Structure 1
Amino acid sequence: MAVRHVWVNRKPARVWGVLGDAEQYQKWVVGTSETHEAEGQWPEVGTTLRYEIGVGPLTVHGHTVVRICEPPERLELEASAGRLGTARIAIRVSPWGEGSLITMDEHPLRGAVARVHTAPVDVLLQLRHRLMLARLRDVVEAGRSEADRKAGRHV
């Protein structure tokens, strides 16, 4: 199971503002492009987000379904990459000092990815999560925090 975390210099409400915005998804989810909300209102439970995963001509059509949504602290998703299978992705946002601690936990559920889930696969997931959480931090921190707006500070 791949579990990683990152600290961001923004409060949980700002983090949730990014997690709860379907248009931001492809900015921080590694390998995702052409994101389209297919059903529901992101991130309500049952909402489906469709996208392409891959590089160049090697693409797979995938979708993610929201399984649990408890703003501003918990979002659990089931991501499907077609024949490759599905994975559970749990994101937790906790207040931590002046910012937030984001923890991501992902593990395969079904399909080929679940059958070949080994220690080397976990290493690849860890690398993917490191990049994904860095991107998420960058997207979250790119916007001004509520405290910055109230104080008139620029970030």
Structure 2
Amino acid sequence: MAEVSLDIDASIADVWNVLADGWSYAGWVVGASHIRAVDTGWPKPGTRIHHSVGPWPLVIQDTTEVVRCEAPGLLELDARLWPVGAARIAFTLRARSEAVTALRMTETVVRGPSAYLPQFAQDLLLIPRNRESLQRLAALAGGRA
């Protein structure tokens, strides 16, 4: 499991609002290039973001589905990217103070060819990407605050 965390200078509500805005994902998830649709009710379990990944015109179109949502403390997703595979991603939020939120992101490859990569190889790919994603999310949350 690849894990990264970051203390964000924004309230837990401001950080949650970015996670709960499915249309914002292309703005902070590294690799996401376009959000095509967001199901009504996002982020209720079972709702999906319909996204494109990669540089145009070589994009892959797939979906990310909410597995579990406990606002404003937990969001768990099943992110698909066929033919590469799929991952379970969890965001855990904890208020350190009224103005600082601890955000932890874990990602585990669960299906597809990528699941056969050794864990250290997965970590080499996922940890820097996820660290940058959290930095981008922090900028959005701080800007909305």
Aligned equivalents of 2:122, 2:84: Cα separation in 1: 13
Letter in 2 for 1:29: V
Equivalent pair of 2:22/2:38 in contact (CA under 8 Å): no
**What is the correspondence of 1:72-151 to structure 2 with a 5 Å cutoff?**
72-97=72-97, 98-144=99-145
CA shift digits 1:84-125 (9 cap, x unpaired) = 111000000101133100000001000011122431221110
Identity of paired residues, percent?
33
Which deviates more, 22-31 or 34-43?
34-43
Which structure has the bigger radius of gyration?
Answer: 1
Aligned equivalents of 1:143, 1:85: Cα separation in 2: 33
* Gap regions ≥5 residues in structure 1: 145-155
Aligned equivalents of 1:38, 1:22: Cα separation in 2: 6
* Residue 4 (str. 1) matches residue 4 (str. 2): yes
Instruction: Name the TM-score, length of structure 1 as normaliser.
Output: 0.87
* Residue 14 (str. 1) matches residue 9 (str. 2): no
| Paired position in structure 2 for 1:43 | 43
Letter in 2 for 1:84: V
Letter in 2 for 1:142: G
| Paired position in structure 2 for 1:59 | 59
Equivalent pair of 1:26/1:35 in contact (CA under 8 Å): yes
Aligned equivalents of 1:48, 1:35: Cα separation in 2: 11
Equivalent pair of 1:108/1:117 in contact (CA under 8 Å): no
Equivalent pair of 1:40/1:46 in contact (CA under 8 Å): no
Which deviates more, 90-99 or 114-123?
114-123
RMSD of aligned Cα (Å):
1.3
| SS of alignment partner, residue 128 of structure 1 | helix
* Gap regions ≥5 residues in structure 2: none
Distance 1:37 1:116, change over 3 A: same
Aligned equivalents of 1:93, 1:127: Cα separation in 2: 20
Higher RCO by CA contacts (8 Å cutoff, separation 6 or greater): 2
